[in-house]
Amino acid sequence: MKKYNVCMVGIGAVGTEIVRLLRKRNFPLAQLTAFATRERTEMIDDLPVDVKVATGPESFKGYDFAFFAGTEGAKGASKTLGWGAAEVGCCVVDNGDDFRMDPKVPLCIPEINPDALKNHQNFIANPNCSTAIALMPLYALHREAKIKRIVCCTYQAVSGSGGAAIRELENQVRAWAAGQPIVHEVYPAQIAFNVIAQIGSEAKDLPGYTSEEAKLGRETRKILGDDSIRVASTCVRVPVVNGHSMALHVEFHHPLSPERAREILSTTAGVQVVDDLSKSVFPTPLDASGKYDALVGRIRPDTSVENGLSLFVSGDNIWKGAAQNAIQIAEKMIELGLK
């Protein structure tokens, strides 16, 4: 089996999980290097990873794949280094949002739109974490009944903001338990025992919405290939360490019963149906954390509209929402003979 030289740009929360998942998924790895702001050796699960400084396109020569591993909302690295890496033959998979809506850049969830990879120019974008998790069940339902409108409310974990945010939540909980003052720096308000109804800055092209909320609509339409889908969303940060969840209220063009939806989703790749309200069985971020699949439950009619369905989804935002999806893109390119 052919093996591949792989590098990452960034060795934070997403970069660390990329290393773990490359090993866990038995990716055909020949060499693994990380690029960051200073040279060092990082120990990940007792195994060393060489960290170097990328100085330009020449740093990516000889690598087959480069994972740009920024966390939620990260910008800049791919603008500086991405296209240079692509031009020397390295296939870039970018977790940032700088190029997701670029017409020449595929925006890919391999279970949903693998054909988008066929026209790649050595540069592929990973979708936003919430978009990736939400669309895992929605795309299969879209194929059955055609989505007209989505109303989405997210409950997003602090790991989406990186390690500093996790530490801030933990420190605030300790301070609260000890009766000490609670300090916040990562977020605009205390996150422990609270929720924050802002993720990202105000969207320039969608007044009143945040950048995170705007991404859900734009990316959904691009990935599903349907510009007619309307999306309204409210994205909220919650005091959960890992695992994003969302309440989805979906209006379809054609009727779709909860029973038929469960039947479809029970055979959908990357989705696990967890749905028995009588036994208090439904998705939770704790259950989704560390799982490849998106968990979906609370499937029921949305009686406020014709042809409506409501569901609740949880998924690992660092895995399927970032690191896992990036690796799946590389795996799919190898499978399709595109690399």
In whole angstroms, give the CA distance from residue 34 to residue 131. Answer: 27
Whole-structure pTM over 0.85, yes or no? yes
Please state, for a pLDDT cut of 90, what percent of the chain lies above it.
91
**Span 187-245, pLDDT tens digits:** 999 999 999 999 999 999 899 999 999 999 999 999 999 999 999 999 999 999 999 99
Domain 131-316: top CATH class: alpha beta
For the chain, how are helix, strand and coil distributed in percent, rounded to 5? 35, 25, 40
In whole angstroms, give the CA distance from residue 305 to residue 183. Answer: 44
In whole angstroms, give the CA distance from residue 123 to residue 64. Answer: 12
H or E stretch at 275: none
In whole angstroms, give the CA distance from residue 91 to residue 330. Answer: 9
- Of residues 90, 142, 152, 244, which has the active-site annotation? 244
- DSSP for 45-92 reads TTEEEEEE---SGGGGTT-SEEEE---TT--SHHHHHHHHHHHTTPEE
77 pLDDT band, cuts 50/70/90, is: confident
Confirm whether 249 is a catalytic residue.
no
Average pLDDT of the residues of the chain = 96
**Beta bridge partner(s), residue 29:** 4
251 pLDDT band, cuts 50/70/90, is: very high
Rg (CA), the chain: 20
Confirm whether 254 is a catalytic residue.
no
Helices vs. strands in the chain: H and E counts, helices first? 8, 13
Sheet holding 47-52, edge to edge: 40-44, 47-52, 29-35, 4-9, 65-68, 91-94, 123-125
**Span 84-96, pLDDT tens digits:** 999 999 999 999 9
Vertex 132 angle, CA 34 and 1, to 5°: 50
Helices 258-265 and 129-145, packing angle to 10 deg = 120
- Nearest residue to 309 (alpha-carbon basis) of 132, 144, 113: 144
Extents of the domains making up the chain: 4-126+322-335, 131-316
Residue 337, pLDDT > 80, answer yes
Averaged over 303-317, what is the pLDDT?
A: 98
- Of residues 129, 142, 152, 235, which has the active-site annotation? 129
User: What CATH number has the domain spanning 4-126+322-335?
Assistant: 3.40.50.720
Residue 47, pLDDT > 90, answer no
Residue 117, pLDDT > 60, answer yes
In whole angstroms, give the CA distance from residue 179 to residue 256. Answer: 51
At 169 the pLDDT is: 98
Q: Is 39 exposed, middle or buried (0-12, 13-18, 19+ CB in 10 A)?
A: exposed
**Beta bridge partner(s), residue 210:** 202
- DSSP for 185-237 reads SSSSS--TT--BS--SSB-TTSTTSBHHHHHHHHHHHHHHT-TT-EEEEEEEE
Averaged over 46-67, what is the pLDDT?
A: 94
Cα distances from 232 to residues 65, 148, 206, 220, 329, in angstroms, run: 35, 12, 11, 11, 28
Instruction: Enter the DSSP assignment of 111.
Output: T
